[in-house]
Structure 1
């Protein structure tokens, strides 16, 4: 479970900002099951989630995928030239197997500047490691030998996280942190685009998976009564094989007919690639077909509405999160989904019957109806709502609805739309009329 996330100098976030996921209202749970993030278009909502995704990617793959001869692929704030000289920071507090952890790092365009990991078994602070540039201090309680830790330090490049190196080296202290970022932090898309093959594989993996997905489609009142998964050979994979065969044949003919010199490594690489195609199993693509009513006709997903596809895209990741107790992060959850359906999804994470493992749902949205009363009562509690607003400088700030003193009988949705909490666009009708007519009177602005 994720307790908090802090970032600074990433995209539209110049100053450090922190998203707190602990309840401010007395609750039984250790963290909030749901966190909704509101804000105007281009306020920075997606950038906040992108910062968490960047942190995840750096942990899992900076050692393997970041170019050893290059710097760090950070995305700093670009509207202030001073940000180029300032570090970016990412810090997460989370819990794995009942042990709290704090992990974070700072970096610039060239290298990792600082990195640290602390654990808190039995509420006692324990240093796992602290890094300053290329110098690392390990905690005294680690199980690894001194020699192994020295090798780990030597393997760590200037532009790679030590934790990423430790993960690839199968070091014990990195395993719970790796588990959190790889298994317990899930990012899901809702908007336009094909339903991923991973969703089809989820449905096809176990009978109970298919049953639950079909049932969630049925109770969503979309008219779907069953799903069929079809496996077909990937046509692009076969086309690529024919292309390699043609290239190899052309090169060999060129050498045989004209004696042209060709780098033997080029021919060897083509032969090796062709052998992989011929000897390996053919790649398959998974397609989901839908059944409506008692008909035997199978519908392609392209026949379904965008809302149906969005719901089907979201269901497998939501079920995975609920089963594991993971953190599900969704940008623009209301894209193509009816507000009542979004409210029901939120309810699955707030209900201990469907969420016994402490899963969390973090999402951005423009759907203000979720701020009000719907279906069985309030969809969101006050401490589950956060806002992102953009200042005149172009930098983003985040703050919680719980920072505002509640009023008796207040209508949160109405107050938000009226600008009482900020984080809404300022839109003047006369400006729109003037823009259509060819220009805005700047003296009115």
Structure 2
């Protein structure tokens, strides 16, 4: 499970920001899972975090940073070249940021309960630093420490890693050691590489939707159990769908037609192109949802409410929150605009204050990321009402009717200029 993610100097995330699934010490949570650790202790960890904020406040950049860290781990050895440089998007509103490092760090727990911290810093031309720490008995073990400015770039305290000399000699200045090690199937480091490979699956509205539709269609063909689960999720969404038919076309691709309720007991099969945008969006999401739940992965969804009704979005959250539906501890990070996700229809909270994170830009255009729990809302406080009132920040700084007044002022000014001419 992912515990914490830290990042700095990536897009609007100028200063170091942290997104944490760990329940702060001293706070109680009904939503958190008790994660067993290898030292015999347990750690309360949230299964879901939601990131809210005004337009252009940096919500999507949090998802982008997580995705970019994964991409760096998976591809630095093969794709980063000396002539192209290291791909990164430093904060663009401060000229000094281009000369400063980009920073990533993730804390996560593997299946054996051992907690790991892995991170790195990048410049345009080289990996400036890289580190890996383990906590098998609750105390930190430094597995390796890399510093490009040192005469001895790589340090392996405790000699815990095999083939240290080979790794130090063959890891390029513009490649991550973790990627280099996994490229040769290193027995100790490849499982850490695989954690990134099998987690941080990201979904962005309309990006690669046909591929996600095809993946869900393939789930229909896998087995009767897989088909039953996909069809059940289609039915509970109240889309009037009673089932699905899928067959392979002449090119071997799965072709789907959904069965809709007609008059009486009749049903009608609709061509895929005739399905509504909302139905196709929900269908495309089902495959990745089941993949995450089946494997205990971390799923990233940017703008969860962009193509789904708020009730659908709330059901996605509940899938991850419910222990018997999510027994493998899959996690969800999503961004959204709709404040309705802060409250359930009958009253009460869909997510706890520690699960709700806000983004807000300062006067420099830099994003600040923080949980609503920092504001210590009262136990019975309506989070949606308080959020819309600006009690926690993270909402557009605009008064009612301000846009209309600005348009009128602009039109009036233009008219005066025309008359003067």
TM-score (normalised: structure 1): 0.82
Distance apart, 1:382 and its partner CA: 1.2
Judging changes above 3 Å, is the alpha-carbon distance between structure 1 residues 440 and 82 closer, same or farther for their aligned structure 2 residues?
farther
Instruction: Indicate the residue corresponding to 2:320 in structure 1.
Output: 349
Aligned partners of 1:369 and 1:163: how far apart in 2?
42
Distance apart, 1:136 and its partner CA: 1.1
Aligned partners of 2:206 and 2:314: how far apart in 1?
17
Structure 2 contact 66–200 (Cα < 8 Å) conserved: no
Aligned counterparts, 1:231-270, within 5 A = 231-234=248-251
Over residues 86-119 of structure 1, what are the superposed CA-to-partner deviations in whole Å (9 max), with x where a residue is unaligned?
Answer: 1110000001111100000001111110000111
Aligned partners of 2:376 and 2:138: how far apart in 1?
32
Distance apart, 1:429 and its partner CA: 4.3
Give the gaps of 5 or more residues in structure 1. Answer: 235-283
Aligned partners of 2:371 and 2:83: how far apart in 1?
42
- Pick aligned residue for 1:424 from 388, 395, 398: 395
Partner secondary structure for residue 399 of structure 1: strand
Instruction: Indicate the residue corresponding to 1:217 in structure 2.
Output: 234
- Pick aligned residue for 2:76 from 42, 62, 69: 62
Distance apart, 1:300 and its partner CA: 2.9
Instruction: Indicate the residue corresponding to 1:249 in structure 2.
Output: none
Partner secondary structure for residue 319 of structure 1: helix
Distance apart, 1:36 and its partner CA: 0.7
Give the gaps of 5 or more residues in structure 2. Answer: 35-43, 414-421
Aligned partners of 2:57 and 2:201: how far apart in 1?
23
Instruction: Indicate the residue corresponding to 1:269 in structure 2.
Output: none
Judging changes above 3 Å, is the alpha-carbon distance between structure 1 residues 441 and 109 closer, same or farther for their aligned structure 2 residues?
farther
Bigger mean CA deviation after superposition, 333-342 or 294-303 = 294-303
Instruction: Indicate the residue corresponding to 1:227 in structure 2.
Output: 244
Structure 2 contact 204–301 (Cα < 8 Å) conserved: yes
- Pick aligned residue for 1:288 from 243, 253, 256: 256
The answer to whether structure 1 residue 100 and structure 2 residue 100 are counterparts is no
Distance apart, 1:439 and its partner CA: 1.6
Instruction: Indicate the residue corresponding to 1:13 in structure 2.
Output: 13
Aligned counterparts, 1:331-342, within 5 A = 331-342=302-313
Aligned counterparts, 1:41-440, within 5 A = 41-97=55-111, 98-133=113-148, 135-142=153-160, 144=162, 148-191=163-206, 193-194=209-210, 195-234=212-251, 284-293=252-261, 298-374=269-345, 377-407=348-378, 409-437=380-408, 439=410
Aligned partners of 2:248 and 2:325: how far apart in 1?
31
Over residues 382-424 of structure 1, what are the superposed CA-to-partner deviations in whole Å (9 max), with x where a residue is unaligned?
Answer: 1110000011211100011000122364221111111111111
Bigger mean CA deviation after superposition, 421-430 or 289-298 = 289-298
Structure 1 contact 228–289 (Cα < 8 Å) conserved: yes
Structure 2 contact 82–125 (Cα < 8 Å) conserved: no
Instruction: Indicate the residue corresponding to 1:258 in structure 2.
Output: none
Distance apart, 1:432 and its partner CA: 1.7
Distance apart, 1:5 and its partner CA: 0.4
Judging changes above 3 Å, is the alpha-carbon distance between structure 1 residues 433 and 376 closer, same or farther for their aligned structure 2 residues?
closer
Q: Aligned residues, how many?
A: 390
Distance apart, 1:299 and its partner CA: 2.2
